[in-house]
A and B are shown apart, each in its own frame.
Chain A
Amino acid sequence: MTWHADVAVIGAGAAGCVAAAAAARSGARVIVVDGGAGATALSSGTVDVADPGASSLDPLDAGAPLASAVEELARHEPQHPYSRIGAAGRAQLPAALGLLRELAADVDLVGAATPEAAMVVATALGTVKATALAQHTIAGGHLERLTGARVGVAHFGRIGLFDGRASVATLRLAVNGSAPERRFESFPLEIRFLRRGRDARSGVFELARLFDSDEMVDGLARATQATLRVSSRLQHLLLPPLIGLQRPCAALQKLEQALGLPVSEVCALPPSVPGWRLARALVRGLADHGVEVIRGRAVGASIGDGEVRGVDVVEAGGKTMRALRARRIVLASGHLVGGGIRADRRLMEPLLGLPLTLDGVPVADASERWLAPDYLQTQPVLRAGVAVNGELRPLDGRHPQPVLRNVHVAGSLIAGNDPASHKAGIGLCALTGWLAGRAAVAD
């Protein structure tokens, strides 16, 4: 049996989901192949667009407006996707983020109060980061709101691998390095709630699942109240990022009501509960747009006459291969983390065999250039990917005409973006997804 679609989207991360929803809006029949947890699920669950504070040494400084940070990146890095899609493409960023928010309604992505400004949130390590959109449970901890406040950083005695004391020590380092008008006070707060014996060995996902039950949330509220009674007056409480897998917003609201003070989660590090929540919310949101989702892996493609006729999909749990035929393909299979690029003595794109480029030239087998000697330098292999033209069609790095006529590339597979250095993560994926999805149904 064969599936038939107008547009087949390979990959159900941020790029794939936005591309599918964007294409489905025009009435096309869209099928998404969801290969399981990729880089979106393994992210911190915040939507990063660019680093607005790249030039500032003040850690709490939200920096320049996001749009100008994006323009800056496009100007300095001619190979960067922001540069490839041109000013018209970059102008679509608000629309793309709008669709992303619509899709991920379950986790309620929130931006800063002033449009265009970045929010700055504390991470689980105690460092701070700027981001464009954060999930409702994290956005409450936007550091601008905490200015001058006494903030408690709750932890369960290192259960859940979140060390409140170490985080506060680092957070204070950030605060002390910041301008006086942005500072706030932070205190570690150990809540004796989770049991050492059993819960100590649970991973973050097992712990987060515990907080899906109302009794556990009530219990946490009572334990927190007991701790707050003996400690000084706090004006905000930051929690480890594991308050519920299914209904985190409801759990948080319940806690806020019981404690009478604003509560939020800190930004997580992978493997993170918020990242998992975001990935799941996006796939769920696809249903409202009439997009069909196949859980399975795209393992091969039939290519002929400069076109992809279809891809072969092995459904999750199944063994047999089924064909998915589509007029247009959006390839949003991710980078090294998501499996869109495989590194086995050489770098390759395994599904369509698209040529990979690094800094505008075909990626060489000279592997010594893949990694830089310094951990803090930009790692070239992260910038490697599929070169695209302004319409996000794949190029081979030598000729101006696209390699395959009916393919658009979206997300982190596109060459030129090193998310670790350029700080353009899910936001850029959403934008390229939006552009690729619309381009796929344009003609």
Chain B
Amino acid sequence: MAFDAIIVGAGLTGAAIARDCARRGLRVLLCEARDIGSGSTAVETGLLDIGVSSDRERRRIAEAELELLQRIAGPLLTRLPLLWPLSATAAIGTRLRQRAQIARAQLPRAARLGGYRIALTPPELRAIEPALAAAASSGAVLTHAWWTDVPHLAALLVGDAIEAGAELRTHARVSALLRDESAVVGVTLVDDRGESIGSHAAPLVLNCAGAGSDDLAALAYGAVALTPIRCTLVRLARRCTGAAIALGGPSAGLRLVPVSHASVLGGWREPGPGGGDTRPRSPSVVERMLAIAARAVEGLAAEPVLEVASAVQARAADDPPQEGVPRRFRLIDHRAQGVGGLFTIIGGAALEHRWIAEQVTDALCRLLGRGGRCVTGERALLGGDAAIDSGRLAAQFQIAADVADRLVARYGWRAHSALRSNEPGAGLALVCRCQGISGAELMHALRHEAPRTLSDLCRRTGLGSGPCGGQRCLREAARIAREAHCWSASELLSELLAAKQERLESARRALPRLPLAALALDQMAHRLSANLDRFWRADRARRGRA
């Protein structure tokens, strides 16, 4: 089957473009080298706010997008107060203060959109967020923001695209671009082991591979002028604040965001080495992030860290970094380099994903000579179109209130059907006690969100990122995934090992702040008590022989 467009890379941008294209009736193939939302999308804090950009046009887009997002995915957004302690954000402090004055004049609209609201006096700040004692003396500006799990949002966008007829291939890396004279006319895909899994033709190939977009363009002798920006996310062991805190840092992007039972410290961007390397630029980055955060939030300097994730976000080389301004998006037509049919999209802020997709899809439709109106701002995302009362859900299924809250925040009204997907077996039992993830939720994710591997399932649900480090929950999840995917015993064990390995890698980056007891217990459980290492080695040897 031929496609109208092939989109390479299922990050937030790729997923949004696939959704828009599919909803306008284009035949779309979305292929992804690893998993949905596994690249730089995975290091987003998920905090959606208008920011401090002085670019009026960008602010207008951000405001419009927040409004639309509330319409199409309202239940999936969690409202969070966002505090800007003026001491931590000295450089932008003056601007913030001015904004606060302006906002007071237009309070109703600003409150709805998360615009600037109120300049807090030190006593007011202390009352709202006692943890900010260190920064309280100079007051703060309070704005509103929304939080959503961005990798999960990408999965929901992909789900909507699939419903509209798009095709998805994950763990499918583009090994070559099909060419017809000077034009790119399709892709050849290989799986994780490098074995070919077929070629697909389309007049348009969209390169949304983020940090890898230069490598992809190079396959057709094209090039993308990008500056790799390394973005680092630190997951702390407990919820340190009730509100999200803007902390300054490089390009004023550092944020401390409360996420269910934990806090994440993210939005740290600095030029760094490119490539698929998942290490932060240097081990001291984490210490520097914590040191800056500790200036505002008391006690953060000694906080244990559960995991550290890092990824490269591409910024167009001609987009000068500007304090507080998110990256601009660029649509690059490689025809100028003598390569037709290949387009690269880089840059853009998470909040703008839908708007970017609309712009790109408009351009694609013009090229293909197709009409079609953009409906992504009107059509609700799966589960996002109706509100659901988590208290009633908790009562109906006899589950804990925080478990119900979590389900509603992630699946909207579909939380109901997620809880009903608990057959066979004991779906309502919690697989992960740290974060309240039930077997039913895992089964729902397995059915509707296309995780291929156990690591994908962990990425989709956040399983194993709690304080227990996936000590027990990973093996329970592996068994549930085994039933859904019909894995053999040997596959089950190698999936478990791969997930454990991934966990160890992100935990290692949290040294020396990693609480090691959970890791030690995990090693005792799986290697001493279950003797799994000997099993894994024997299995590997057996397969090596075969």
Contact = CB atoms under 8 A, between A and B. Distances in A.
Contacts of B475: 125, 269
Nearest to A335: B520
B525 interface: yes
A346 B426 contact: no
Interface stretch (B125-133, B150-158, B408-416, B502-510): B502-510
Given A42-B521, A48-B528, A158 B425 contact: yes
Interface stretch (B6-14, B217-225, B376-384, B492-500): B492-500
A15 to B, nearest CB: 15
B426 A157 contact: yes
Contacts of B283: 368
Given A129-B531, A370-B511, A376 B536 contact: yes
Contacts of B482: 166
A53 B538 CA distance: 12
Given A337-B517, A373-B505, A420-B528, A367 B511 contact: yes
A54 B520 CA distance: 21
B500 A375 contact: yes
B180 to A, nearest CB: 44
B489 interface: yes
A22 B261 CA distance: 46
Interface of B is mostly: helix
Nearest to B431: A161
A158 B427 CA distance: 9
Interface in B423-447: 424-426, 428-430, 439
Interface in A132-183: 157-159, 161, 163, 166, 169-170, 172-174, 177
A345 B520 CA distance: 16
Contact of B426 (A43, A200, A345, A423): A200
Contact of A375 (B504, B529, B531): B504
A364 B478 CA distance: 37
Contacts of A125: 475, 530, 532
Interface in B498-546: 500-501, 504-505, 507-508, 511-517, 519-521, 523-539, 541-542
B429 A425 contact: no
Given A169-B488, A343-B514, A371 B504 contact: yes
Contacts of B476: 161
B489 A126 contact: yes
A379 B501 CA distance: 13
B238 to A, nearest CB: 14
Contacts of A336: 516-517, 519-521
A270 B517 CA distance: 13
A104 to B, nearest CB: 17
Given A374-B501, A376-B497, A43 B529 contact: yes
Contacts of A367: 511-512
Nearest to A366: B512
B272 interface: no
Contacts of B521: 42, 270, 336-337
A158 B483 CA distance: 12
Nearest to B491: A169
Contact of B528 (A57, A169, A419): A419
A159 B523 contact: no
Contacts of A157: 424-426
B304 interface: yes
A333 interface: no
A367 B512 CA distance: 5
Contacts of B479: 158, 163, 166
A127 B475 CA distance: 13
Contact of A170 (B426, B471, B493, B519): B493
A382 interface: yes
B523 A177 contact: no
A375 B497 contact: yes
Contacts of B516: 336, 343, 370, 381
B490 interface: yes
A268 B479 CA distance: 16
9 contacts: A159-B425, A161-B429, A173-B539, A337-B524, A367-B512, A371-B508, A420-B533, A421-B533, A423-B528
Interface of B: 283, 302, 304, 424-426, 428-430, 439, 471-472, 475-476, 479, 482, 488-490, 492-493, 497, 500-501, 504-505, 507-508, 511-517, 519-521, 523-539, 541-542
Q: Give the 3 A-B CB pairs with smallest separation, nearest first.
A: A367-B512, A200-B426, A129-B531
